[in-house]
Chain A
Amino acid sequence: MKPAPSVILFTVLSGMGFGLLAFLGAGFVQPVGWLAFFHWGLGYGLAVGGLAASTFHLGNPQRALKAFTQWQTSWLSREAWASVLTLVLLAPVALSDWLGLGWPRVTGLIGAVACFGTVFTTSMIYAQIAAVPRWNNWTVPAMFVSFELTGGALLSGQVLPALIGCSALILALYAHKTKGDVAFAKRGQTLGKATGLDQVGSATVFEQPHTSPNYLMREMIYVVARKHIARLWPIAFGAAAILPAVLVVLLPYHLLTFALAALIHLMGAAASRWLFFAQAEHVVGLYYGQR
């Protein structure tokens, strides 16, 4: 699948933003005054910025509000609802922290749970697609939620949750990679099976149906940079999970430590999300003899 920058930005930034909002909402860190404003502002900024980035790849973004209508069947619609409800739910706590109003934090706790629910709905947009075997399993929500936990813990300066997050992330990334690497073969689809021509003999492409790439090939058959895969996976593991964990343990407890760890984590998250798309193979590629 094409690793479009808008979708990588959307999933990485909004995941990190909702992670920070979850930690703020649950009260792990309770800044006051302008410090609260900047903390909550960063969380809201990342979450809303990520959601805004997701509209860049729409053909007709002016109709985006219609995406709220089909929550009964569509994970994308559910995600729209979940993200808006979560942001609204957390607003009183954010205001209370900033202006020192002392309002009860119970909506913050509910909002923190909703943050994880939101990122779960994001992950299900991908995990539901049976035509992309690499995505069509539980490792996708596990990975997205682990990213949210790690990103949120690092941005809110929580050592133990950050270490738990990094450990969960290593496991989730490993599970996603190993399960994903064999997912396509396990699905058992081949050119012969996809066309039904295996009942005649062994099928290969004789001639493509068109001489230049079409939407399907540009969107779903991404071949160009797979040579980078071997280099990017270690970077993803190292930058997203291992290095941040080492940094928060070894360096003194300071804002800069966490800022550095979060920045490195963000780069690792972007690398892993690029791989998430670039490595995912759609079964339509079979018709073209490509994957």
Chain B
Amino acid sequence: MTQLPTHTDKKLGLAIDLDTCVGCQACVTACKGWNDQGYGAALSDQNPYGADPYGTFLNRVHSYQVQPDIGAAQIINFPRSCLHCEDAPCVTVCPTGASYKRTEDGIVLVNEDACIGCGLCAWACPYGARELDQAAGVMKKCTLCVDRIYNENLPEEDREPACVRTCPTGARHFGDFADPDSKVSKLVAERGGYDLMPDLKTKPTNKYLPPRKKDIPQEASLLAPLLDIQATGFAGWLDKVLGKLG
């Protein structure tokens, strides 16, 4: 059903740390790799080795140059995937009921057997989280690796989304935002995690942790400490004698 649940027991999602992300694209590759097998239609590629490659991905990492008012410009890498919004506009526009939000954990999913591939949900999403697979003709989106996180055939440390599991810098955190004591909730509270485009009233579950304030570069000369030596004792005597010689 495309009616959104009024309440979800859990609010599973990601907290993405823009301070630690190095833009290595490992999460993009891990996501594509995991979702090439298992849940739903495989993420296809068209002409992957040709001049004009094209493919379906559920996670993209942008790279921005940000110039603060004071100090040097920074590169900030920005992973972008489904935010599993509480008021997901992609769900309510769906004419067939293929798009839905789960009551138990708040994950937004697509029932591919009911998807007609009209693309309206991708239009409705402000964040570009959905891509229509050109081979299967159905809408693909982040499943929060629903086939990993509850999968008891996997070792416990692997029961988290592939992007989180693979991130070499620990920039992606998975957890329940409905639980104030969860790791992700605490991170958001400590670091001032924020929503993307909150004025569109989608109430995203995923949060972004802002880059930490960088050290302010020293304006003074690196030699500054050497220029004003007040030596005492033997060093002071030596300084005086050498100064006379010079």
A binding-site residues for B, Cβ under 8 Å = 1, 57-61, 63-64, 66-70, 72-77, 80, 125, 128-132, 187-189, 191, 193-197, 199-216, 219-220, 282-284, 287-288
The residue that B197 contacts in the complex, of A69, A76, A189, with Cβ under 8 A, is A189
A103 to B2 CA separation, bound complex (whole angstroms): 41
What would be 10 A-B contacts, judged by CB atoms less than 8 Å apart? A58-B137, A59-B117, A74-B93, A76-B93, A77-B95, A131-B126, A132-B123, A200-B210, A201-B69, A209-B63
B161 touches A (CB below 8 Å): no
User: Is the Cβ of B126 less than 8 Å from the Cβ of A73?
Assistant: no
B194 contacts the other chain (Cβ, under 8 Å)? Answer: yes
Question: Is B65 interfacial (CB-CB < 8 Å)?
Answer: yes
The CB with the most chain A CB atoms within 10 A, among B3, B53, B69, B125, is that of B125
Given contacts A60-B138, A209-B62, whether A70 and B1 have CB atoms under 8 Å apart is yes
What is the distance, in angstroms, from B98's C-beta to the closest C-beta of chain A? 8
Interface contact B89-A206, CB-CB below 8 Å? no
Starting from the known contacts A59-B116, A74-B94, A214-B56, 16 additional A-B residue pairs (CB-CB under 8 Å) come to A58-B118, A59-B139, A63-B114, A66-B116, A67-B118, A74-B93, A129-B89, A129-B123, A130-B124, A131-B89, A191-B64, A202-B66, A203-B76, A215-B122, A282-B126, A288-B62
Contact (Cβ within 8 A) B95 A216: no
Give chain B's interface secondary structure class. loop
For B208, the chain A residues whose CB sits under 8 A away are 195-196
**Separation of A1 and B3 alpha carbons in the complex (Å):** 26
| Known A131-B200, A212-B54, A216-B128; contact A67-B96, beta-carbon cutoff 8 A | yes
* Contacting residues, chain B, for A69 (C-beta < 8 A): 95-97
- Let me know if B96 and A70 touch, CB within 8 A: yes
Q: In the bound complex, what is the Cα–Cα distance between A63 and B137 (angstroms)?
A: 11
A204: chain B residues at CB < 8 Å are 64-67
* Chain B count of residues within 8 A CB distance of the other chain: 67
Say which residue of B2, B61, B132 sits within 8 Å of A59 (CB atoms). Answer: B132
Closest partner residue, chain B, to A196 (CB atom): B194
Say whether A212 contacts B62, CB under 8 Å.
Answer: no
| A214-B94 contact, Cβ under 8 Å, with A205-B62, A284-B126 | no
Considering the complex, which residues of chain B in the window 20-69 have a beta carbon less than 8 Å from any beta carbon of chain A?
28, 52-57, 60-69
Decide if B65 touches A206 in the complex (CB within 8 Å): yes
Q: Are B54 and A57 in contact (CB under 8 A)?
A: no
Q: How far is the CA of A131 from the CA of B123 in the complex (A)?
A: 7
**Chain A contacts for B127, CB-based, 8 A:** 284, 287
Kindly state the separation between the CA atoms of A194 and B138 in the bound complex, as whole angstroms.
Answer: 27
A7 to chain B, nearest CB (A): 10
Q: Which of B96, B137, B210 contacts A66 (CB 8 A)?
A: B96
| Distance between Cα atoms of A128 and B46 in the complex (Å) | 32
> A130's contact among B62, B120, B200, B210, by CB below 8 Å, is which?
B200
Instruction: Give per-residue flags for B95-136: 1 if the beta carbon is below 8 A from chain A beta carbons, else 0.
Output: 111100000000000000011111110111111100111101
- Give the CA-CA distance A209 to B27 in the complex, in Å: 12
Structural contact, B2 and A73, CB atoms closer than 8 A = yes
Contact at A76–B118, with CB atoms within 8 Å?
Answer: yes
Q: Known contacts A60-B137, A70-B96, A80-B95; is A208 also within 8 Å of B62 by CB?
A: yes
**In the complex the two chains form, is B119's CB within 8 Å of A57's CB?**
yes
Q: Which of A1, A60, A187, A196 contacts B210 (CB 8 A)?
A: A196
